[in-house]
Amino acid sequence: MKGLIYREFYLSRKSVFLMLLVYVLFVFMLSLVMISTYAGNLAKDPEADEMCEYLYSSMYIYAGFIAIIGVTYGHNDIIEKDYKSHWQLYSYTLPADEKKIITSKFVYRGILILFGFMLAVLADAIFSIAAGKPLSMSHFKNTLILLLGYGMFCMADIPMMLRFKTQGKSAAVIMPIATPFMAAFGYGTYRFVKLCTAEAKRLYPNMDGDAAMKKVAYSYIMPYRDIAVWILPVLAAAAVVLCYFWAIKEMKRRRY
């Protein structure tokens, strides 16, 4: 199985490295901007503190996206390329059963996701140092949710690609299923913002509009976020197990 994991690594290392470069640039530049709000040119800006606060409270999530999604991105099209390069057929001639082949894919993708998560946490730590603020548990929880949520999607991609062979076909299948949920999510977000805006006006009439709305929104979101931190690992573990067996089944089906 080690050889199969090596193979996944060789095929994805270039894009992982490129995304790592993007991550380093992003974290480095943002850190410089944050430092500049108290020790550089931006310190003269009357809103420097607010800017630093805003950057620290939001940029870690972008760094998390770049890290977690970025490092796994290059691995997503490998199964499609396996079909194109006839590796899929050749792999059945190797002394390795479907379980080993699928395990190698899951292990490597798991390593990438965890690596991305570590980078996301590291980015938050760097931002906290740059902003001169203590490490935030809330940021960690949000990053963990990003990891688990995207991780499930990322693992489900393996059996999906084995079944539909191309990313285009996979997307064509997922889109009709996902569209009603996306529409519902969009509408729900709109209703939620309306509700929070009205509540913010009622509860905090003297506060700035955005800050008041954020306060109201957080009071609704936080309890659910904390529940999600406990529930998502269980769901993610179950999803990974399901996807693993689904992928083995697809691999066996594709053999004949």
Closest distance of CB 166 from another protein, Å: 16
* Given 25, 89, 231, 238, the residue binding another protein (CB under 8 A): 89
**Cβ–Cβ under 8 Å, residues 57 and 210:** no
Is residue 14 a contact residue for another protein (CB under 8 A)? yes
* Interatomic CA distance for residues 118 and 246, integer angstroms: 28
The answer to the question of residue 99 lying near another protein (CB under 8 A) is: no
With CB under 8 A as the contact rule, which of the stretches 5-13, 38-46, 152-160, 211-219 interacts with another protein? 5-13
What secondary structure does DSSP assign to the chain, as a single string?
Answer: -HHHHHHHHHHHHHHHHHHHHHHHHHHHHHHHHHHHHHHSGGGGSTTHHHHHHHHHHHHHHHHHHHHHHHHHHTTTTHHHHHHHTTHHHHHTTSS--HHHHHHHHHHHHHHHHHHHHHHHHHHHHHHHHHHT-PPPHHHHHHHHHHHHHHHHHHHHHHHHHHHHSSHHHHHHHHHHHHHHHHHHHHHHHHHHHHHHHHHHHHH-TTS-HHHHHHHHHHHHHHHHHHHHHHHHHHHHHHHHHHHHHHHHHHHHHHH-
Query: Of the two residues 7 and 225, which places its CB atom closer to another protein in the complex?
Result: 7
Joined tokens for residue 33: 């901007």
State the minimum distance, in angstroms, from the CB of residue 90 to another protein.
Answer: 3
User: What is the smallest separation between the CB atom of 69 and another protein, expressed in angstroms?
Assistant: 21
- 41 or 93, CB closer to another protein? 93
Interaction of residue 83 with another protein, rule CB under 8 A: no
d(C-alpha 35, C-alpha 69), whole Å: 27
- Nearest distance, CB of residue 5 and another protein, angstroms: 8
Instruction: Return the residue of 65, 87, 115, 140 that touches another protein, per CB under 8 A.
Output: 87
Going 158 to 162 to 163 to 169, the CA torsion angle's sign is: positive
Binding residues for another protein, total number by CB under 8 A: 24
Question: Whose Cβ is closer to another protein: residue 95's or residue 134's?
Answer: 95
Lay out the site mask for another protein across 37-76 (x = CB under 8 A, - = otherwise): ----------------------------------------
* 94 is a contact residue toward another protein (CB under 8 A): yes
Please identify, using beta-carbon distances, which residue of 80 and 124 lies nearer to another protein: 80
Nearest distance from C-beta of residue 52 to another protein, angstroms: 43
Among 95, 176, 180, 205, binds another protein (CB under 8 A): 95
Binding-site ranges for another protein (CB under 8 A):
1-4, 6-7, 10-11, 14, 81-82, 85-87, 89-90, 92-97, 255-256
